[in-house]
Amino acid sequence: MPLEIGENAPSMSVVTDDGSLLDLSTLYAKGLVLVYFYPKADTPGCTVQACNLRDNITGLNKAGVTVIGVSADSVDAQAKFKKKYNLNFVLVADSERALIKAFGVDARQTFIVKDGKVAWRQLKATPKTQAADALAALKGL
């Protein structure tokens, strides 16, 4: 089951698209974090979703949001996906599916983490409107 609003977001270290470790609890402490999960890098729906967030990153950043994308792809696959589409946010290579399991994700889903807790979730994320959906949700947080 996906994490509920108000539940603690998973605090763990994850591997990013450049092979470095990212400590999620440190990231959560810096402000709002949009964590979006997608099935597979460089597939049609996932590309639309990533590019939608890329194209709207300025508005998200102005709202104080850091974006991270997560899939079970390898570091190499994430790095290629990021480079191919000039993605301007971190991708997590969750090949062990630890973060996917910790959030309870089973499909394309998005969460906003505020103060280390799930503040919003979209259990059926829409690739073409991902950024607008998140920005609309922020107004209620």
CATH of the domain at 107: 3.40.30.10
What are the two backbone dihedrals, phi and then psi, of residue 105, each rounded to the nearest 5 degrees?
-85, 140
The pLDDT of residue 2 is: 94
Residue 21 belongs to a domain: yes
- Split into its structural domains, the chain has a count of 1
The pLDDT of residue 67 is: 98
The pLDDT of residue 3 is: 97
Residue 131 belongs to a domain: yes
The pLDDT of residue 32 is: 98
Residue 73 belongs to a domain: yes
Domain ranges, residue 51:
13-138
Residue 116 belongs to a domain: yes
CA 105 to chain centre: 12
Residue 2 belongs to a domain: no
Q: Specify whether 46 is catalytic.
A: yes
Residues of the chain above pLDDT 90, percent: 96
Averaged over 73-85, what is the pLDDT? 98
Residue 1 belongs to a domain: no
Selecting among 35, 46, 99, 118, the annotated active-site residue is 46
Residue 141 banded pLDDT, cuts 50, 70, 90? confident
Residue 106 banded pLDDT, cuts 50, 70, 90? confident
The pLDDT of residue 90 is: 98
The pLDDT of residue 72 is: 97
Residue 81 belongs to a domain: yes
Torsion over CA: 132, 136, 138, 139 (sign): positive
CA 43 to chain centre: 16
The pLDDT of residue 107 is: 80
Mean pLDDT over the full length of the chain: 96
Residue 29 belongs to a domain: yes
Report the distance separating Cα 91 and Cα 37, nearest Å.
10
Averaged over 83-107, what is the pLDDT? 96
The pLDDT of residue 140 is: 84
